Structure 1
Amino acid sequence: MASQIFHNNPQTQYDRQASRVTPARVRPEDKKTRAKKALWSLTIAIVIPLSLTLFIIFKFGSGKRYRAIMNKPFWFPPLWLIHLASIGSSFSMSLAAWLIWVDRGFHLNFNALPLYISQISLSIVWDPLELVMGAVWLGFIFCLLHLGILFACYLSFRKVNPFARDLVKPCLVWFTFLTIVSYKLIAL
């Protein structure tokens, strides 16, 4: 009797019919619109930090004090390499942050966005502070702080997207090297 009630129940029959319905297909216009939005957001995420980095390089990029140091060790990077690595680091971190944003990582991990913004700010400030103005102690402190924030970004990003985590690794290596250079500049 209970099985007859179950089979004759109109609500149960409706549920079985509803489960057989195929999901609606996404129209090509929707896919194109989403792709355009994703490309637009990627462009903005990369262009803004990259343009800030390029502005700082062109505005303060001469580094006369850095060039004037006569007894630099042979392993000190030339100024063009420092600027090129800063551009590459900015691009890499921007792409990593965009991947985190796409995976909704900034909503799930509230520390990721402030860490990323702090990283951008410190990378922009370091170049004119140490290479142009010659504030080596302050530049070294900023470099240490930047390295710590990059490591925190690495830990935060690895929870969300492994590719974004891998994009942070070269930045960590570069700023570790810059921290060593900054420390050696104190002694010169």
Structure 2
Amino acid sequence: MALYPMSKQVLGFFGWLSICFMAAALGALASVQAGAFYQSLMRPPWAPPGWLFGPVWTVLYILMAISAWLVWREHGFRKAGLALSLFLVQLAVNALWTWLFFVWHLGSLAFAEILILWLLILITAGMFGRRSRVAGALLVPYLAWVSFASVLTWAVWRGNLHILA
């Protein structure tokens, strides 16, 4: 049962969507030159093409927003403040990765940071799942993609030590 009236739920949904896409925009600022840089790197044969990242992340950010919104609308910050705050922290950590990797070329820090992101997503998904099974499940594709991205980060970093510190 929703905690808020329908009008506030709609505003809340667009609020969570805006928060998620603000994080995406911060990452996008860092990835303006990412396409050319990504193409210049030695990548494993299983690395996806650069054009795939945008559509995948768009879907993931939408799923993240819906997940946070479901928890918020059922429990609010009063009862789910820790879970929602952790969601916001992992969102900030998510945005930081692009800067570490594509702007500052810090492969080792990007790899360490994505492992922290993975752990934060796992904990957030667990906390959300205890409040809403659907909300927790909506974070599973995000966790799966970041799992893949972690392995890719490792492989690209290790194959480009001369570029990525």
> Could you state the TM-score of these two structures normalised by the residue count of structure 2?
0.84
1:156-171 mapped onto 2 (5 Å cutoff): 156-171=127-142
Aligned match of 2:28: 57
Q: What amino acid is aligned across from residue 16 of structure 2 in structure 1?
A: A
Supply the distance in 1 between the matched residues of 2:157 and 2:80 (Cα, whole angstroms): 37
Aligned match of 1:73: 44
Any unmatched runs of 5+ in structure 1? 1-32
Any unmatched runs of 5+ in structure 2? 160-165
Name which of 90, 99, 107 aligns with 2:78. Answer: 107
Task: Determine what percentage of the aligned residue pairs are the same residue.
Answer: 21
Aligned match of 1:130: 101
Supply the distance in 2 between the matched residues of 1:84 and 1:131 (Cα, whole angstroms): 18
> Could you state the TM-score of these two structures normalised by the residue count of structure 1?
0.75
Supply the distance in 1 between the matched residues of 2:30 and 2:106 (Cα, whole angstroms): 17
Runs of 4 or more above 3 Å deviation: none
Aligned 8 A contact 2:27 2:95 in 1: yes
Aligned 8 A contact 1:97 1:164 in 2: yes
Name which of 37, 42, 48 aligns with 2:8. Answer: 37
Aligned 8 A contact 2:20 2:61 in 1: yes
Larger radius of gyration: 1
Aligned 8 A contact 2:23 2:92 in 1: no
Match status 1:84 vs 2:55:
yes
- Alpha carbon RMSD of aligned pairs, Å? 1.9
| Local SS of the residue matching 1:103 | helix
Q: What amino acid is aligned across from residue 39 of structure 1 in structure 2?
A: V
Structure with the greater relative contact order (CA < 8 A, sep ≥ 6): 1 or 2?
A: 2
Name which of 55, 66, 70 aligns with 1:95. Answer: 66
